[in-house]
Amino acid sequence: MSTYVPKENDVTPKWYLVDAEGQALGRVATCVATLLRGKHRPTFTPYLDTGDHVIVLNATKIRWTGKKLEQKVYRHYTGYPGGVREKAARKSWDENPADAVREAVFGMLPKNKLRDRMTNRLLVYRDTKHPHQAQQPEAYKMAAAKI
């Protein structure tokens, strides 16, 4: 008897709908990263892309805990000398709240070749309207936070 190892063709991705209203940013990001990776499936394989599509709604109504909104800074390096770019979380949030959600989820995914494929399956919307009714997304119930 041998261990079952799924092939990428064996996995059919589902569509999940996550309502982020009133939830903390980190809690939403961990939940979404788990779904994108496929860790909720019994056939999870770390080196295969077995995850699902995730639609995050109400990105503008996510809660920031503590003083993160005032103190957090997003940094990236362009690759050139002196190319460190910084943006305050408050400014980034005011311009586009969906970017903060994408950034949080992106940081929780594995740093390998699969990360870009997983990130492409993440769709974040500011409110409850989305154009994916044809995919029949299934509502995903997040565990209630004890905060």
User: Which domains are assigned to the chain?
Assistant: 13-65+95-139 (3.90.1180.10)
Q: Is 3 helix (H, G, I), strand (E, B) or coil?
A: coil
Q: DSSP state, 2? A: -
Q: Across the beta sheet with 138-139, what order do the strands follow?
A: 122-124, 53-57, 15-19, 138-139
Answer for the pair 128, 58: CB distance below 8 angstroms, yes or no. Answer: yes
The separation between the first and the last C-alpha atoms of the chain, rounded to the nearest angstrom, is: 47
pLDDT values of the chain reduced to their tens digit, one per residue, 147 residues: 788 888 888 889 999 999 999 999 999 999 999 999 999 999 899 999 999 999 999 999 999 999 999 999 999 999 999 999 999 999 999 999 999 999 999 999 999 999 999 999 999 999 999 999 999 999 998 876 655
What tokens does 108 get?
A: 């929780």
Count of beta carbons in the 10 Å neighbourhood of residue 12: 6
How many angstroms separate the CA atoms of 95 and 134, rounded?
A: 30
Instruction: Return the pLDDT at 143.
Output: 75
